[in-house]
Structure 1
Amino acid sequence: MIKNNKETAGQNLPYIAGITLIATLGGLLFGYDTAVISGAEKSVQAYLITGQGLSTWVHGVTISSALIGCILGGAVSGVFSSRMGRKKTLIIAAILFLLSALGSGYPEFLFFEEGNPTMGLLYMFNFYRIIGGIGVGLASAVCPVYIGELAPANLRGRLVSLNQFAIIFGMLVVYFVNWGISNGQSPEWLNEIGWRYMFLSEAIPAALFGILMFFVPESPRYLSMVNRDEEALQILTKVNGPDTARRIFSDIKNTVEHHSSNLWSYGKTVIFIGILLSVFQQFVGINVALYYAPRIFESMGAGKDASMLQTVVMGLVNVFFTVLAILTVDRWGRKPLLMVGSIGMAIGMFAISALSYYEIIGISTLVFIIIYTASFMMSWGPICWVLISEIFPNKIRGKAVAVAVAAQWAANYFISATYPSMMEYSGAVTYGFYGVMSVLSLLFVWKMIPETKGRSLEDLEALWLPDSEVPTEKASLVSNH
């Protein structure tokens, strides 16, 4: 996927690949933690909610409770990554993933009796899910930033997109795990025991991620901001070669020393774009398809085992189209992929809305769900994270990414928590809403998103500076935008 050529001359590709693969375990856990609920949600509903006579709204909030932690984790990620560094923040995320996996699988630990669901146990289950959500929020914000700050400009799109591949791969892995646990088992066993195994399975990749993060370097751009210049230059040299490293280091120091770290020091536009990127990524409805996939397929007439298998098929499609994005993002650019993806998502969601309105359930619904998810995975899935990792200037990146990611998880929570009640009202209106959001996302990209492929993080800062502050050698970048 990353080959030696003139563009990569002097770059230490095995070293870059190794760091990236370890960092993307955070993305894998992001996907694993958010999607594990898809196989467990009906059993959790039966064990903790239905037996206590609680409402559909409580079910929606419980299934989405991890997203509260995601919002918190995203919001504090800027403080953690700016004060402690990208590396230590990701180690903390790994610890939170591990605690959540163990606690969600056995929420009765210490305080409650197994087999006796109470409101207190429901609160404890939600607490552990929120803990995992904080880990997801930290990882979702810091993993792309960490990879983007280490990656050479010509490889940055592909390497940051690998984080999205890891997210989708994590979802695919947990779909297989959930299917394997549930296959051939009775509903009673799943409602008592099976759902616990699903959550506990996350402990293995969480522990691996935490251990391996001790063996990677800190981001050179973070090191430069905290005046650890010698270490920063050593890492840049190991990644890029000595000549390129000195030039990049000079650009980094210039941006760090001459600009304020105030969130608004580069104007409101770049923050506004980051927030809208995040909100549109969620308002198009992707996590409804991911979290509730088995239930959606069951509503189409598939049995329990068949619905789990169809979810695995959807996961394989997601992986294929994410790989397509990785292969094309540094050739075709960010903007064209986003626009094509928005069109595909709109077609898929409007078709599903029409089929729902006429109560047509069958293979056609599955086809349009796949069209929709494939369009997302080759565009908004990976490219949103690429742009968030690169559009913000060095001095404000930690804070600005935290704002964007917190907005993303808030939007995610709103969409996921409202889905069950919206579906009770009207499936056609629900999916039609996501289709409208897909059209609006297309207009947003067309009007507001700059093309960033092949440009260094320091060059991109010129997009947001007043004309009087733009260095002469970077004026063409601004005029092209």
Structure 2
Amino acid sequence: MNDSELNFKHSYILGISFISALGGYLFGFDFAVIAGALPFLREAFGLNAWWEGFLTGSLALGCIVGCLLAGKLADRYGRKPGLLLAALIFAISSLGMAYASDLSIFVLMRFAAGIGVGMASMLSPLYIAEISPAHVRGRNVAINQLTIVIGILVTNLINYTLADNGPEAWRWMFGLGTVPAVLFFIGVLWLPESPRWLLKARQDERARKVLSAIGSEAFAAETFSTIQASLKGAARQSFRAVFEKAVRPAVIVGITLAVFQQLCGINVVFNYTSTIFESIGADLDRQLFETVAIGTVNLIFTVIAMWQVDKLGRRPLMLIGSLGLAVVYLVLAGVLQLEMNATVVSIFVLMAIAMYATSLAPVTWVLIAEIFPNKIRGVASSIAIVSLWIAYFILVFTFPILAEILGTYGPFYLYAAICFAGFLFVKHRVKETKGQTLEELEQQLIHR
């Protein structure tokens, strides 16, 4: 089957991919809003290093719950209901943070926001992978990363604009998240259910209709039969099933890549921009300006990654990014230790963002969405992404404490070592997946 048979369907595929990926936008919002709000929250709630780390990391604790919930929902009720619930949680939690009267309520609402982020972080790329033909799957899943970075950039711009509105500006920063959450909810109502889930749920006619909307009749018939074959004998899967010998290698790779994407340290740069630049004497305006610069570079290099992920491939991008980050971190630690001026620090911070945005950021999500067999994809993806959020919590919780003990520069030496270890893991354990259907990848896993 040649690609031309699918051309007239591409606008539809892109449309449903972008709508699903709006979950990524909300992910980007809740992830980035803390960077601009943190200087205000320190004053409003009198945060010390421990509480600063816990408040920032409470999002991740909610994400863990959200992933576990999403995994069960995705396999039992389908991908679409989970996306709708995530949108609803986003809207309620944004208002809850905006109106929080004390620290405990704010942390509870940020935890709730994390549940929505966790659900979307699993379900959006999973859904896109399952509705996309093999030759554009990497690009389409990377759309989710694109919407994340757009969410980060737009949020940083809004935070920068609101910063002069007094000590209560942080309430507007969080409350405005309700608008994209409502738009996401409305968009998801229009989405079709995943054809792979429909076949697993024995809703064959609905699956045929969705596949026919995605591609030609020949594509629909061929994909229908290959999915059916891969699901032969499938039953509802438990968490124990993902550690069976046949699928264990894929699960180990998925979990390790998810943990590495966080412990590589880049989210310290995203979440603690103000802390990093404050340590070298930059004022609040410069701190918030740097969040906008970071968001802009992140967006530009994510677009480059989308262009390359189905051309250059997943593995080369991961190798370049992990080794490149290790080198940049070593230099960044040095310039922070020497307390060089903000412009020099900014150059190396932006280089680190560029490396991450073209490699670990989008490619990790692509690989997690595609390396697991159809029978256990929902549960296995949730385990990998739970591992990701546990690692994120450890990273952002420990940074203020480590920075207080070692200096702001100290943790970056550790992150450089982690990136080099990640490079070795990718080199020896990660296989290329570009251009192959999900069912072809599953067959390779079975016969490995």
Q: Which amino acid is 1:314 matched to?
A: I
Corresponding residue number in structure 2 for 1:72: 65
Kindly indicate whether residue 208 of structure 2 is the aligned counterpart of residue 212 of structure 1: no
* 2:277/2:342 contact within 8 Å kept: no
Distance in 1 between residues matched to 2:443 and 2:254, nearest whole Å: 16
Q: 1:353 aligns with which of 317, 326, 333?
A: 333
CA RMSD, 1 decimal:
1.5
Distance in 1 between residues matched to 2:305 and 2:111, nearest whole Å: 31
Unmatched 5+ stretches in structure 1: 109-120, 468-477
Q: 1:334 to 1:445 in 2, by over 3 A?
A: same
* 2:67/2:382 contact within 8 Å kept: yes
Corresponding residue number in structure 1 for 2:35: 38
Point out the more displaced range, 261-270 or 229-238: 261-270
Distance in 2 between residues matched to 1:326 and 1:143, nearest whole Å: 16
* 1:344/1:371 contact within 8 Å kept: no
Point out the more displaced range, 289-298 or 225-234: 289-298
Corresponding residue number in structure 2 for 1:125: 106
Point out the more displaced range, 260-269 or 165-174: 260-269
Distance in 1 between residues matched to 2:233 and 2:442, nearest whole Å: 12
Corresponding residue number in structure 2 for 1:446: 427
Corresponding residue number in structure 2 for 1:370: 350
Distance in 1 between residues matched to 2:199 and 2:160, nearest whole Å: 47
Unmatched 5+ stretches in structure 2: none
Q: 2:92 aligns with which of 95, 99, 102?
A: 99
Kindly indicate whether residue 242 of structure 2 is the aligned counterpart of residue 242 of structure 1: no
Kindly indicate whether residue 15 of structure 2 is the aligned counterpart of residue 22 of structure 1: no
Corresponding residue number in structure 1 for 2:198: 223
Structure 1 SS opposite 2:46: helix
Deviation per CA, 1:439-478, whole angstroms, max 9, x where unpaired?
111111101111000000000002321x4xxxxxxxxxx5
- 1:299 deviates by 2.6
- 1:259 deviates by 5.1
Distance in 2 between residues matched to 1:453 and 1:300, nearest whole Å: 43
Give the length in aligned residue pairs. 441
Q: 1:10 aligns with which of 6, 20, 26?
A: 6
Deviation per CA, 1:336-392, whole angstroms, max 9, x where unpaired?
011111122111111111223333343221111111110000000000000000000
Distance in 2 between residues matched to 1:97 and 1:212, nearest whole Å: 14
Structure 1 SS opposite 2:100: coil
Larger Rg: 1
* 2:84/2:188 contact within 8 Å kept: yes
Corresponding residue number in structure 2 for 1:293: 273
Q: Which amino acid is 1:58 matched to?
A: W
Q: 1:62 aligns with which of 34, 55, 58?
A: 55
* 1:49/1:59 contact within 8 Å kept: no
Corresponding residue number in structure 2 for 1:316: 296
Deviation per CA, 1:405-430, whole angstroms, max 9, x where unpaired?
00000000000000001001123430
Distance in 2 between residues matched to 1:361 and 1:284, nearest whole Å: 25
Written as runs of structure 1 = structure 2, the 5 A alignment for 1:107-146 is: 107-108=100-101, 121-146=102-127
Distance in 2 between residues matched to 1:378 and 1:123, nearest whole Å: 37
* 2:98/2:171 contact within 8 Å kept: yes
Deviation per CA, 1:277-327, whole angstroms, max 9, x where unpaired?
100000011111111113322333322112211211111111010000000
* 2:247/2:372 contact within 8 Å kept: no
Q: Which amino acid is 1:458 matched to?
A: E
* 2:212/2:220 contact within 8 Å kept: yes
- 1:6 deviates by 5.3
Taking only the aligned residue pairs, the percentage that are identical comes to 37
- 1:8 deviates by 4.3
Structure 1 SS opposite 2:193: coil
- 1:257 deviates by 1.2
Structure 2 SS opposite 1:95: helix
Kindly indicate whether residue 177 of structure 2 is the aligned counterpart of residue 196 of structure 1: no
Kindly indicate whether residue 255 of structure 2 is the aligned counterpart of residue 255 of structure 1: no
Corresponding residue number in structure 1 for 2:388: 408
Distance in 2 between residues matched to 1:323 and 1:59, nearest whole Å: 32
Q: 2:151 aligns with which of 170, 173, 178?
A: 170
TM score, norm. by length of structure 1: 0.89
Distance in 1 between residues matched to 2:77 and 2:234, nearest whole Å: 21
* 2:280/2:336 contact within 8 Å kept: no
Structure 2 SS opposite 1:331: coil
Corresponding residue number in structure 2 for 1:264: 243
Q: 1:86 aligns with which of 79, 85, 98?
A: 79
Q: 1:212 to 1:267 in 2, by over 3 A?
A: closer
Q: 1:385 aligns with which of 357, 361, 365?
A: 365
* 1:347/1:372 contact within 8 Å kept: no
